[in-house]
Structure 1
Amino acid sequence: MEAGEGKSMTGSKAKKATRMQIMQKKKRIDELLKSAYSSDKDHLADFAHSRHYNKNGLSLSLESGRGDKLSSNLKQQIQKLLKVNMEGPYGAEWPTEEKIKRKEMSSPEALYIFVHNVENTTDNSKESMIGFVQYRFTIEEEIPVLYVYELQLESAYQGKGLGRFLMLLIELIARKNGMGAVVLTVQKMNTSAMKFYLNKLRYNISAISPSKVYQMSGIIDQEKSYEILCKAFDHEAKAVLEES
């Protein structure tokens, strides 16, 4: 056997091993996502203590939901809350964005945590949705992540620790399901949200956020109106999503 042939065989084995590793990683991620989306899975079931929030004068209950099982009434409540909270930050982009969010809202991949306030009256109990988290399990740069699409609360319930409570719960759900990070998108005009995630929850502007991508490539004339933030849980996710 000639020396060149030996090197060729060695290189072939290395490529085959690399392909095998890639396939095994893909299979592992696919299995993680399939398990996370299991039809009978209630992601709050693992955190029974988190089904209620009783702090700062609030008495609230939490329940899970799915986009393809929303009632028409709940859809209307979601749309109304989105419009109240997001029309300002999106500005002129809102009409287009509203259509996108309406479609995302009912997707089978859309998972929810709904927050309800139970108001006891003299004749019955009236339950109303005062906020929600919409999230999905997906892949970013070959990393399995929990992507938060929405965190929306009525104004009367903001600034009372509820948002922080919900995001910490989301992080627990992400870890429990083997995700490498929590990822989300925030409008730059929504300065209170940017401060909340960056300062209070210690999220980072992701390496895949437009500002970072353009900075690395030297492009300065295509600034986007949003940032992608993330919190990584392991070395691989941190290297890819935070440090690239």
Structure 2
Amino acid sequence: MKRREALEKKKSIEELIKNANDPLKDHLNSLPCSYRHYNRNGLSVYLESGIGSNLSSFKKQYIQKLLKVNMEAAYGPKEWVFEEKVKRKEMVAPDARYVFVREIVDNEDGMQPPGDSFVGFLQYRFVLEEEMPVAYVYELQLEQCVQGKGLGKFLMQLVERIAYEYRMSAVMLTVQKGNVFAMDFYVSQLRFVVSSNSPSRMGFNTSYEILYKAVDCEAKEK
């Protein structure tokens, strides 16, 4: 009976992830319209969804450029050469989901987002971690001009809402220990905690931590 229950639970979790990864689903469409826009602190932006396997050349170039600007210093020039190759592969994976952020500006036709007005992006995936379905945040990257205006917090809250809508157990991410600003942002402001499968919790000394925030009670207990 226990084995049958375990197999049924595993199958149920696989179905949840499969459903969430359906390429025909636009995750933003499952949320209230208020999640499509962010208009606070003198910043007005519009959000749109994307999938790794369907990215345009322009979006790929934009992602690579912003990653280099924001992350090269944190990794160091030598390590970044390898890390950049890894991120390029991750970028176009079929299960990589995106939320692109476009700045809204005034023009003759009213408040419309021009085609090249990207100011950041979020990349996440639905995966299995610790035998639980989770929304794993791979990247949260913003242009310097829109940082410090609450947009990053809004995007993470959006991922939490998407995780809840698709019945995920938690939101997880990896952060560099040396990125003090990011660690403070996730732990102090968003209430993420160090996961039980993070290297430091298992006695390993690495340059990163794995953080999580539970969406349901089972994840909190585990």
The answer to whether TM tops 0.5 is: yes
* Change in CA separation of 1:165 and 1:125 when aligned onto 2, cut-off 3 Å: closer
Secondary structure of 1:160's counterpart equals coil
Note the C-alpha offset of 1:65.
0.4
Report the RMSD for the aligned CA atoms in angstroms. 1.5
Q: 1:65 touches 1:111 (CA, 8 Å); kept in 2? A: yes
Structure 1 residue 170 corresponds to structure 2 residue 155: no
Determine the structure 1 residue equivalent to 2:100: 114
Q: Structure 1, residues 157-206: CA drift from partner, whole Å, max 9, x if none?
A: 11000000000010000011010000000011111000000000010011
Counterpart amino acid of 1:183? M
Determine the structure 1 residue equivalent to 2:30: 46
Match of 1:126 among 114, 117, 142: 114
Counterpart amino acid of 1:102? R
Q: 1:90 touches 1:189 (CA, 8 Å); kept in 2? A: no
Determine the structure 2 residue equivalent to 1:236: 218
Query: Which structure would you say has the larger Rg?
Result: 1
C-alpha distance in 2, partners of 1:166/1:73? 22
C-alpha distance in 1, partners of 2:216/2:51? 28
Counterpart amino acid of 2:172? V
Percent identical residues: 56
C-alpha distance in 2, partners of 1:125/1:94? 32
C-alpha distance in 2, partners of 1:53/1:79? 24
Q: 2:135 touches 2:172 (CA, 8 Å); kept in 1? A: yes
* Change in CA separation of 1:154 and 1:96 when aligned onto 2, cut-off 3 Å: same
In the superposition, the TM-score normalised over structure 1's length comes to 0.85
The aligned runs of 1:6-155 (5 Å cut-off) are 17-47=1-31, 48-91=33-76, 92-121=78-107, 126-127=114-115, 128-155=117-144
Counterpart amino acid of 1:135? Y
Determine the structure 2 residue equivalent to 1:225: 207
In the superposition, the TM-score normalised over structure 2's length comes to 0.94
Equivalences, count: 217
Note the C-alpha offset of 1:38.
1.5
Note the C-alpha offset of 1:117.
1.1
Structure 2: unaligned runs, 5 residues or longer: none
Structure 1: unaligned runs, 5 residues or longer: 1-16, 215-221
Note the C-alpha offset of 1:121.
4.9
Higher relative contact order (CA 8 A, sep 6+): 2
C-alpha distance in 2, partners of 1:19/1:153? 46
